[in-house]
Amino acid sequence: MKLVDKYISLSRQGEAVWISDVRENFAALAGTKSLQLRLCCLDGQERDYDCPLPAWENGEQRAFLLEYLKARVFNILSCYSGRALYLCLEREDRELKKLAEDCITAFYREPGLKKVLNIAGRLCRSLGLPPFELGIRGPATGRPGPGPTALTVSSLGTKLRRAVESCGSGAFCGIDVGGTDIKLALAKDGRLLAVKEYDWNPAESPRAEGLIRPILLLARLMQARLSAELLPEGSLERQLLDKALEKDASHELMEETIRACSGNEPPRFSGIGLSFPDVVIHNRILGGETPKTKGMRENSELDYEEEFSKLSSLGTELEKLCLPGGRVEIVNDGPMAAFSAAAELTWGREGDAVQGGIVAHSLGTDLGTGWMRGSGEIPDIPLELYDLLVDLGSEKWRAYPAEDLRSVKNENSGLPGLRRYLGQAAAYRIAWQLKPELLEGFTEEKEGLLEISTSPRDLRKPCLEQLMQWAAKGDESAREVFRRIGRNLAQMTREMEYLLDTGTESRYIFGRFVKERDCFALIREGFKELMPDMELYAADDSLALTPMMAQLAKREDVTVAQFAQAVSAVYFSAFERQ
């Protein structure tokens, strides 16, 4: 089969083989084997995805088709999870049936693929549903029913404006948890009192406490800042607090400050919004397969499921810092980005911009993706798009272990997922391929693995900042790094639209990759090469329209790109989801 042979040849040359190209070309072939993927979603609805496959002539072609089929199943479950997924086919086709069986077996044997089954299992258990099922059925009959009826478009704008206005009275804390840092915003009566950045490496923690304790400590520090409103400027307590709010303040200093400023009865919050980079369903952290919990997963001294479940208590612990009736609202960082863009656009009275809903991405350590429908609904689905398998090729780069910066494999799955095509890990990988000198001074080799050094100083963020500076100064190789990230973002968008059909024609980008305008322009340039009819917008000062976001934009010590998610988390604590 010449088309499959072409893909195999490209992969051997180290070239990418994009899944959207393969899917579209297979759909256009005549004489393919009929296969359909039927997903039973968490809410009971069903979705069908056609997956025709050409007949194969040898083992090499069959192996490629098996990888393609596994990627199709993996991507659907990464996006939606669900109650069950069935491979529907004519059982008389023994070759196809055996291929489907091998695909299912791989999901139970290969740790990287199994992660989506782990997530589905946790979600089904938490929602009181029967165990998740992955199996084979006969040809699908009928079509899935229509989705839920959307509310009127005006309801989204009304709810967003109400959330922003509600934060004009009371004390609120917004927390944006990332892979390399945590950012917080504190507001009282509509005034942005303080922001705080804290560097961390959660993947190193062998227990859940290592993730929970810093977040609670930082929230208590924000309480101390509230208390300081009653203290005179220049007091010893205020001086201590100023030091504790600095980025590099130690845990000991923050604890000392909390004791000095808070007293016996620290003030409580009216609401806390938390953006957390994991699957969040019904206000609970339920995924457990992200790089942040790597240390816990690899800790043989504990039961991972039991230890990870402790993260679901984070909301309860934060509620203790709130007034009676105060709300703690937790959401994945992707939906938080979508909420942020929608809130700012609505406040700016650009109603048409949110009419069909909002899709936003946070692009930094990882890729976060959020989708808010025009009704204001945030779908209760994982939307773990940073794991999507979009490249079926690049055989040369698959040979490197996932821990090597040259690899296309995600560290948390061992699969060639989007994390190595978008985000800071992608920037390192692409830079090395184009011009290794771009990484000079930032890398180290350990037991044959090439890595960005993290000890004695973590150089991951400085390395990305250096790449951005070189790109801004005109280094062509550095500029190409960001163009390629833009092209990869377009490839991800193709797969996302196929899976979700959001109907939106624009994307809003948050995070460090829009901090440098020249770099965002290069990302946009690469994106437009493949998707000229879709627009990319940077969530920078131009999107600072709500009162507190405008206050953030006026600060000289931080940028909107850095702290937009934290400020939006303040508003989200007052948002009516239903």
Can you tell me which residue has the tokens 């001086």?
239
pLDDT of residue 252: 96
Give the rounded percent of residues in the chain with a pLDDT score beyond 90.
70
Query: How are beta strands 181-188 and 171-177 bridged, if at all?
Result: antiparallel
> Mean pLDDT across the stretch 123-136?
94
Cβ atoms of 319 and 326 closer than 8 Å: yes
Q: How confident is the model at residue 147, as a pLDDT?
A: 45
Q: Is 214's pLDDT higher than 70? A: yes
- Region 13-25: what's the mean pLDDT? 96
Q: For residue 352, what pLDDT band results from cuts at 50, 70 and 90? A: low
Predicted confidence band of residue 146 (pLDDT cuts 50, 70, 90): very low
pTM over 0.75: yes
- Calculate mean pLDDT across residues 262-290: 88
Asked if the model's pLDDT at residue 349 lies above 70, the reply is no
State the Cα–Cα distance between residues 357 and 353, nearest whole angstrom.
Answer: 8
In this prediction, residue 536 carries a pLDDT of 92
Question: What's the token pair of residue 412?
Answer: 């948390």
Least confident range from 109-118, 341-350, 414-423, 544-553: namely 341-350
Helical packing angle, 251-262 and 236-244, nearest 10°: 150
Give the Cα separation of 115 and 82 in Å (integer): 13
Count, residues in the chain: 578
Residue 28: how many other CB atoms lie within 10 Å: 10
H helical segments located in 501-559:
517-530, 547-554
Question: What pLDDT score does 150 carry?
Answer: 41
Distance CA 76, CA 48 (A): 10
Q: How far apart are alpha carbons 475 and 578 in whole angstroms?
A: 49
Q: Is the pLDDT assigned to residue 151 strictly greater than 80? A: no
Tell me which residue of 482, 496, 544 sits closest to 360, measured CA to CA. Answer: 496
Peptide bond into 131 cis (omega under 30): no
Which of these ranges, 91-100, 106-115, 362-371, has the smallest mean pLDDT?
362-371
Q: Is there a contact between 450 and 491 (Cβ–Cβ < 8 Å)?
A: no
pLDDT at 143: 56
Give residue 350's pLDDT band: very low, low, confident or very high (50, 70, 90).
low
For residue 315 the two structure tokens come to 């909301």
Q: Give the per-residue pLDDT at 353.
A: 59
As a whole number of angstroms, the distance between CA 495 and CA 501 comes to 10
Round to whole Å and give the CA distance between 179 and 333. Answer: 11
pLDDT at 1: 66
Return the pLDDT at 154: 45
What are the C-alpha distances in Å from 160 to residues 77, 340, 393, 571?
Answer: 30, 10, 43, 9
CA distance 167 to 165: 5
Q: Any idea which fold 159-335+563-572 has?
A: Nucleotidyltransferase; domain 5 (3.30.420)
State yes or no: pLDDT of 75 exceeds 70. Answer: yes
Tens digit of each residue's pLDDT (9 = 90 or more) over 34-57: 999 999 999 999 999 999 999 999
Residue range(s) occupied by CATH 3.30.420.40 in the chain = 159-335+563-572
Q: What is the pLDDT of residue 181?
A: 93
Which CATH code fits 372-539? Answer: 3.30.420
The yes-or-no verdict on residue 459 having pLDDT over 50 is yes
C-alpha–C-alpha distance, residues 513 and 362, integer Å? 9
